[in-house]
Structure 1
């Protein structure tokens, strides 16, 4: 009997939940956000066997800013607990240096608005983008 094993390591993003009443540092207001879990996993025949390097992100639905939150709070929300995310829980991620395509967007680091990748300066606030 001939047996070929298919296995590998992959990275995955999973949208967990829509969160209300997030205090976005860029929007300077209360908005909704998406809780996203990013992790690596090992699979055998497309069956995930184990996960590691779990990170939880909150993405503002208004300005598309990206923040990390603690793993404890992320797991608690994923498990259905009623946990509040405060302004202090959100740690801003510099999306310009994030290598994950799911999060990559051309945004001005000053005003947070989306800009074309060919622009040297933000057309909204004038900040140098390159």
Structure 2
């Protein structure tokens, strides 16, 4: 519960979810965001406290891993943008024109890591 509370506190205090909504230009889906966060939290809590295993074909696990990777990548990118790490780093290193490539590299890295976890480590 402490870890979950800390995660929600980080999302709330840093304003990651509102910034993510702003970046993705999906303000009209605010209610959907709220509902999915609540349902995801409840579902994750349920799976954490039960002995349910989820044996699925590799294709389903690839899709599931991609969804996790996309979410984690967007969350990391939004968090880093809020903290202004990329703008400061890119200006000091002279990488301003490579900012989009840098963000895509982070997102693809998170997707790859999630797929590796689901396909290799979870078996």
TM range (shorter): under 0.3
Question: What TM-score do you get using the length of structure 2 for normalisation?
Answer: 0.26
Q: Which has the higher strand share?
A: 1
Q: Relative contact order (C-alpha < 8 Å, sep 6+): which is higher?
A: 2
Task: Say which one has the larger Rg.
Answer: 1
TM-score, normalised with respect to structure 1: 0.25
